[in-house]
Structure 1
Amino acid sequence: MVYSTNSHISETTVSTPLLSTTTSGSSDSDDSPPTSHRFAPKDVIYQFPTMPDSGSYRSLAVLPGHVGSVSCLALCGEFILSASQGKDIIVWQQPDLRQFAKFGQGDGSVKALVTVGNQVFTAHQDSRIRVWKVSRNSENIFRLVATLPTTKDYLTKFMKQKNYVQTRRHHRHLWIEHADSISCLAICNGMIYSGSWDKTLKVWRVSDLKCLESIKAHDDAINGLVTHKGIVYSASADGKIKVWGKEEKSSHCLKGVLEGHKDVSLNSVIVSEDGRLVYGGGSDGCVMGWEEDGELGNWKLVCEIKAHQMAVLCMCIMEDFVCSGSADKSIGMWKREVGGGLCNVGVIRGHEGPVKCLQASPSGVGTGFLLYSGGLDKSIRRLRAFAVLPSIDLVVIEEITRIWGVNREKALWKSYWS
C-alpha cells in the first residue's frame, strides 16, 4: 500500500557546500543554543602494528574517536562524516583527517547519514530522522534544526483517522512515521528516501522536509537503499531487491524485483555507474549481481559468488572495482568483468570487528581510488588502491609508507617499497 500527498513534487537541488556558511534566509534563529560544541582539531593517531603474514595486513591509518561501533560513513567534498552506535557524529577534514567537528543527539544510535548542501540528515534507532545545519556563527558547529516527521507535518495529520495505519497488533501510527529503526537513507533529485525495519520506504522532500509517500515495500526489514538517475533500489531481509520508479507527478511504483537466495537476508545494494548492473550482499556471505535486460523491470542473474565466510554487511563500488565488507572482519576486493561477473583481486584484513560500512572516492593522485571502512571495533581505516604495477591486480598503499599488492599466480600478498 502506498500513502502519498497530492501535492506536486518539486525537483529541488541544494548547491550550498556542506561546511560553508550560508547567507540565505532561515526560519531557525542562530540565537538558539547550539547542540554541538566547538571541537578543537586533533592530530590523527596512527597505529603501527607488527608486519603481517603473507595474505593479510593491517592498515597504518587508523582513526579512533568514536565511543561506539562505527555504523555509517558519508563523503562530502574534502570532508568525511562518520557516525556510531554511541550517537556521536564526527566530521573529519582531509587530507590529514583531523577531527573538524563533533556533534550528535538522540535517543537511539545513528544508523545512517547523508549530506545535502549544508545539511546533514541522520537516521536513528529511535525511528526519527534528524536534520543538522552548519551554524552561521561558526563553520565547525552543527545545530539540530528539525526532526522528521516535523511538528507541522504531524499536526496536519494526527486528527484524521484515515492517516493512521496498523503497524503491529494493537499499535497504530501515522503513515508519515516510521514504527521501527530507520536503517538506511538515500538522496536523489531533491528527495530523501528512508528505509526501515518496519518494512516501509518513505519519501521526504528536502525543501520543506515534508513526507510525501509511504510505501509498504517489503515483507521484512529494509536494510539498504541506493538511488541512480531517479530509480530507487531497496534491499531487504526478505531476500529481495526491489526497483522503484516514478513519473513526473505520480507516486513511486514497483518496476522490478531481483530475487536472492531463499531464506537469506540481503543487507546491502549497490548500482554501477551506468545503472545496468546491481549487486547485493547477503547474510550467507554471497554477493549476487543482476544485469538489466532490455527495458526496466527485466533483470537477469549474471553473478553469484561466495565472497565471505560470514554475512556481507556493506558494499561500495568505484569504477570497475567492487568492495564488500563482512562480519568476518575482512574486506573483499573485486574486479568487474565483461558481463557483470566479479573476479577476486584481494582480501584486506585489519579490523578487529565486523566491517559495517564502506565508502570509496577517486584518489586525486594518479589512477585508483581511496577506500574508507568503518567497523564495530570503533575505528575508521583509510586505504589507497591502485591498479598500476605489472601482474598486480590491486595495489593498496598504506599512507604512502608501504605498498601491498596481490600476485594472481601465487595468490599471495607481496610488499613493495615505494
Structure 2
Amino acid sequence: MNMGYDGKRTLWSFIDGERESLQSSPHRLSVKSDRQISTSDPDNLLYSPSRSSTGNYPMYPSFLPPPSPDSPWTLSPLQTPSPSLLYHCIASLHRQEGTIYSIAVSKGLVFTGSESSRIRAWRQPDCVERGHVKASCGHVSSILAHGNMLFTSHKDHKVRVWNLFLSENFKAKKIANLPRTSTFLFFPKTCTYQHKERISCMAYYHAEGLLYTGSFDKTVKAWRVLDHRCVDSFLAHEDNINSVVVNQEDGCVFTGSSDGCVKIWRRVYGQSSHTLTMTLKFQMSPVNALALSSSCFLYSGSSDGFINFWEKEKLSYRFNHGGFLQGHRFGVLCLDAIEKLIFSGSEDTTIRIWRREEGSCFHECLAVLDAHRGPVKCLAASLEIGKVVMGFLLYSAGLDQTFKVWRVKVLPDQIIVPLEALNVQRNDNDDEDDNDDIINNNIVISNNNMKAMDYETTPVLSPSWVEKKLQADHPFH
C-alpha cells in the first residue's frame, strides 16, 4: 500500500485498493468510456456506445458468436445460473444548467428539475426535448408527476402545481402554489403552513388526492390537491427528512430521515391527522432514500452504503427486517423499485440493479452500471414492454452534471431471440451438441450454459472527488 511521508494513507493507495477490490469481485464489469458526438450546441444529445476503455467490445459467452462491432449491448456477467441482463446507455446529455436534482416519468415524458428555474420535458425513450416550463424560483429539489399534474418543489420552500397539456407541442400551466399566497396587502405574505426549510421529497396518494411533502425542517405536511389546502402538519423526525413514499393500497406513509429512522404513519380514521404506527431502525446511518416494491417490501438506502429491506406480514401488516443488500462502496443516494427489480444510485458513481427471488427474501445483483463520473444523485425507472424479454428504461443524473438514459432487458431462463436482436451471426463451426442452438435464424439461449467471464476493470471514481470524500470522512487525517 502506498503511504505518505507521515505514514497516512494516500489517495493513490485508495485507488489501488479500489482496483484490487474490483479485480477480486465476483461481478466484474468493464468500464466503458463515453464516445461523445458533440456540436457547438450545448444542448446536443451525446450518444455513448458501450465500448471498453481499451476500445474492445464486451465479451460474450462462448456459446454465442462474436457480436457485431456496432452492437451497443453489454451482457451483465453472472456466475450464478440465474437469468442474465442486457443493458446499454442509449443517450448521455450534458447541460449547462448545473446539477439535476430530480427526475419523474409520466405518460411517455421524462421531467427533470435542476439548479435552474426551468423544468424540462423529454420524450421517451430518445430524450428529445419537448419543451420546458419556467418558474419564478429555481433549485428544483423534488419533482413528482401523476396523470396530467406535475408537482415541483423550489428554493423558496414552496410547491408549484402544474397542469400538463400532452399534445404535439408540450405545454404546462401553473394552477397553484402550495401554500397559497395571500392577495390581500394587510395579510403577511408567508403562511403558517409553509415549510421553514428546503422541501426534499414528495409523494402522492392517488385515492385521496393527498400530496405529502417532507422537509429539512423535520416536518411532513399533507396537502389536499383539490382545494390546495394543508390538511395536516406534524413533526416526524429529529433530523432532516430525505424521503417519503406512500403505499397506494392502504395510504400508509413511510418517511426516512438523517436521524437513521424509517417511520410508518397512518391517517386517523375519519380525520385528516396522522399517527405514528411503527419505527424501523436497524442501523444508525442516515437514511437517504426509500422505495416500496409491490406494497410488501420496503427498501431504505443509507449513507453507509447498505440497502436495508423489510417485509410486510400478511396478517399483522407489520414490517419485519429481512436483511440488507451490500455492494455499494459509499452512500446510497437514490432508489426506485418496479416489481421484483430494485435500482440504486450511489456516491460511488455506480448504479446497481438488484432482483428479488419470487416468494423469498433472497436478492442478487444483476448488473453494475458505471458510466457516471460523479455521485448518482437521482434516478427513475419505467417499464418497457417487449415481445420477448422484460424491458426497462432507466434515467439517471449525477453530480458530474450528466443525464443518462439506459435501456435494460432482463432475460428469462430460456428464450428464443432473433439473431438481429443481438446483432450476431451464425458461426459455421458451432457445436451441434450445445444446449444453446440456432434454429431458423433464432437463437435459443439457456442461462444454465452461461460461463464465468473476466472483464477488464479500471477505477471508476474521479480522483478529485475521492480526495474530497476522504477528507470529509477523516477530517483529522
Same fold (TM over 0.5): yes
Q: For 2:345 and 2:414, how far apart are their aligned partners in 1? A: 25
- 1:256 equivalent to 2:278? Answer yes
Structure 1 counterpart of 2:382: 361
How does 1:342-357 map onto structure 2 within 5 Å? 342-357=363-378
User: 1:119 Cα shift?
Assistant: 2.6
Instruction: Give the match's secondary structure for 1:368.
Output: strand
Which of 304, 309, 325 is residue 284 of structure 1 equivalent to?
304
Q: 1:125 to 1:302 in 2, by over 3 A?
A: same
Structure 1 counterpart of 2:115: 85
| 2:286 aligned partner, one-letter code | S
Q: 1:184 to 1:358 in 2, by over 3 A?
A: same
Structure 2 counterpart of 1:377: 400
Q: For 1:296 and 1:44, how far apart are their aligned partners in 2? A: 50
Deviation digits for residues 96-146 of structure 1, max 9, x if unmatched?
Answer: 321001223244411111124433110123211112234799952333332
Preserved CA contact (<8 Å) 1:257 1:297: no
| 2:338 aligned partner, one-letter code | M
Structure 2 counterpart of 1:114: 144
Q: 1:213 to 1:401 in 2, by over 3 A?
A: farther
Greater strand share, structure number = 1
Select between 283-292 and 145-154 the one with higher mean Cα deviation.
145-154
Preserved CA contact (<8 Å) 2:88 2:408: no
Q: 1:129 to 1:411 in 2, by over 3 A?
A: farther
How does 1:61-80 map onto structure 2 within 5 Å? 61-65=91-95, 67-80=97-110
Q: For 1:245 and 1:71, how far apart are their aligned partners in 2? A: 29
| 1:176 aligned partner, one-letter code | Y
Higher relative contact order (CA 8 A, sep 6+): 2
| Equivalences, count | 350
Preserved CA contact (<8 Å) 1:149 1:176: yes
| 1:311 aligned partner, one-letter code | G
Greater C-alpha radius of gyration: 2
Select between 248-257 and 46-55 the one with higher mean Cα deviation.
46-55
Instruction: Give the match's secondary structure for 2:369.
Output: strand
Q: 1:220 to 1:341 in 2, by over 3 A?
A: farther
Structure 1 counterpart of 2:288: 267
How does 1:15-164 map onto structure 2 within 5 Å? 44-48=45-49, 50-52=51-53, 59-65=89-95, 67-134=97-164, 139-152=169-182
Root-mean-square deviation over aligned CA pairs: 3.4
Instruction: Give the match's secondary structure for 1:122.
Output: strand
Q: 1:175 to 1:386 in 2, by over 3 A?
A: same
Structure 2 counterpart of 1:24: none
Structure 1 counterpart of 2:10: none
Structure 2 counterpart of 1:215: 234
Preserved CA contact (<8 Å) 1:260 1:266: no
User: 1:365 Cα shift?
Assistant: 1.6
Q: For 1:116 and 1:153, how far apart are their aligned partners in 2? A: 29
Q: 1:48 to 1:147 in 2, by over 3 A?
A: same
Structure 2 unmatched ranges of 5 or more: 1-42, 59-75, 78-86, 416-420, 425-446, 457-477
| 1:63 aligned partner, one-letter code | L
User: 1:321 Cα shift?
Assistant: 1.0
How does 1:324-339 map onto structure 2 within 5 Å? 324-337=344-357, 338-339=359-360
Instruction: Give the match's secondary structure for 1:151.
Output: coil
Q: Normalization by structure 1: what TM-score?
A: 0.75
Q: 1:151 to 1:386 in 2, by over 3 A?
A: same
Greater helix share, structure number = 2
Deviation digits for residues 38-96 of structure 1, max 9, x if unmatched?
Answer: xxxx8744244753476899724213346111111111111111111233211011243
- 1:187 equivalent to 2:188? Answer no
- 1:198 equivalent to 2:240? Answer no
Instruction: Give the match's secondary structure for 1:180.
Output: coil
Structure 1 counterpart of 2:409: 386
| 2:217 aligned partner, one-letter code | D
Q: 1:388 to 1:297 in 2, by over 3 A?
A: closer
User: 1:342 Cα shift?
Assistant: 1.9
Structure 1 counterpart of 2:245: 226
